[in-house]
Amino acid sequence: MLCRIKTITFLITLLSNVFSYGQADQIKTEFDNDYYEYDKDFLSPEFHKSRRDSLRKLLPEGSAIVFFSSPERNRSNDVYYEYHQNPNFYYLTGLREPHSMIIIYKDTQKFSSFSDNELLFMQERDAKTELWNGRRLGVERVKNRLKISSILPNSDFAEFDPKFDSLRAVFYETPFEMELKDTTTTNNVAGLYYHFTKKNPIQLKAKQRIEGILMAQLRQVKTEEELRLLRKAIDITCEAQNQLMQQITDTMTEFQTEAIIEYVFKKNGAEYTGFPSIQGSGENSCILHYTSNRRPLIRGGLLVSDVGAEYHGYTADVTRTIPPSGKFTKEQKIIYELVLKAQSAGIDAATEGANFWQPGIVATEIIAEGLLKLGIIEHKNEVRKYFMHGTSHYLGLDVHDAGTYTPLVPGNVITVEPGIYIAEGSDCDLKWWNIGVRIEDDILITPEGPENLSEGSPRTVKEIESLMEK
């Protein structure tokens, strides 16, 4: 009986604590955890600080730059999409919560009670909201975990003087797809942005929006910390592609192949897909960004599996084209090996100092020559009928990551992804119809040459068919 009384007393005390705190930062219980405690391999606070310092060096004299967190997005009625942070905001702060903004000044500013060269405004803790939607970090814990010295509740910004009047320019990134919220307060992104525009009388004078250019310069070169997370995301994606090759049968549907892929993602700790998984078979293999994923594989054709796991913000992008039956037909093999030849040459061209577009130039030439030789086109300049997209893009916090598209330098991570798509009704022999092939790998530029980060998943006909043997 005494044990039961003690247990009941403990539970009453615990519940009282949970439901009664005002500033919840002060609560210290065994349950006072967050995502920074569950996972130990996030980017370090020092990384984010170094990125802010690097951005500050790029700012013009007498200026500041402002970034907002992503708004929350409604899906339907009272259901919201799973929250995903603005990559620029995350890159600079490490904070994964909404309703926040950061101001980074070129020089230290003197405010009413303190001086600093950066200010973070963020949501406070709230017991009732956290009970339903999960724990928030709160101002004090962000100071401790993310090492940002000056942090204020977002509600304070309405009355705060950010000293914009004394600056020559204030650059900013407009929040993407702003939610409709009460802008009389600043406890949401819409309110923060509204009051920011009211406090920034010089913003409209800036003819050139340099925030995108500056962030592209920084984000296009990956640090070792970033590469650690990017390699993790790519390794997970390669494992998913390999599992798909081993488990697929031509009695499945596209959505069942998607289920295999995304199960492996979650099993290995990926928080999201970096983009909606593309599982296009047969005629759908010729649709570049097909995501419906409903067709039965028994109707024949190749499967283009273009997928990417996102791990701690960094996303992979790996495409494999496989025959659900386990064997390529004669025509499928011919087209596949032409794309593979073009891709291999494109990867070899991804070297330090090369024009960003060089892998695409090389790959396009090989595909044009190959299609001409097969009689699928009559002139090389018709190649875009069947290879209509670019060959490379940057990869990182976004699947199409920020970058300047200038000559390649060590630390760039790019894709090399040529393809051939011969849709039904094309102006060629019908034996080629509904053959779509894309092969995509993630390539790190190094002083020693290109490193294929996604080589863990096979891409030759022999290797794929061998792995698919039942």
Q: How is the chain split into domains, by residue range? A: 32-217, 220-468
Cα separation, 17 vs 235, whole angstroms: 43
Cα–Cα nearest to 238, from 308, 311, 339: 308
Average pLDDT (427-448) is 98
Q: What is the pLDDT of residue 200?
A: 79
Q: What predicted TM-score, i.e. pTM, was given to this entire model? A: 0.91
For residue 136, pLDDT beyond 80: yes
- Give me the residue label for tokens 């990559």: 87
Side chain identity, residue 402:
A
Pairing state between β 74-76 and 79-80 = antiparallel
For residue 464, pLDDT beyond 50: yes
Cα separation, 106 vs 131, whole angstroms: 40
Distances in Å between the Cα of 408 and the Cα atoms of 392, 405, 411 are: 12, 8, 9
Instruction: Give the residue numbers marked as catalytic.
Output: 78, 289, 306, 317, 389, 393, 400, 417, 421, 438, 440
Residue 436's Cα: distance from chain center in Å?
26
Average pLDDT (216-234) is 98
Half-sphere exposure in the Cβ direction for 251 (13 Å, CA): 1
Among the residue ranges 12-26, 143-157, 256-270, 329-343, the one predicted with the least confidence is 12-26
- Which superfamily does 32-217 belong to? Creatinase/prolidase N-terminal domain (3.40.350.10)
Cα separation, 148 vs 285, whole angstroms: 47
For residue 339, pLDDT beyond 90: yes
For residue 22, pLDDT beyond 50: no
Q: Which CATH architecture has domain 220-468?
A: Alpha-Beta Complex (3.90)
Q: For residue 183, name the pLDDT band (cuts at 50, 70, 90).
A: confident
Cα separation, 100 vs 417, whole angstroms: 37
Q: What is the pLDDT of residue 149?
A: 86
Q: What is the pLDDT of residue 23?
A: 41
Q: What is the pLDDT of residue 181?
A: 75
Helix boundaries (H) for 99-251: 127-133, 139-146, 189-199, 211-219, 224-247
Cα–Cα nearest to 126, from 240, 40, 54, 24: 24
Averaged pLDDT score across all residues of the chain: 91
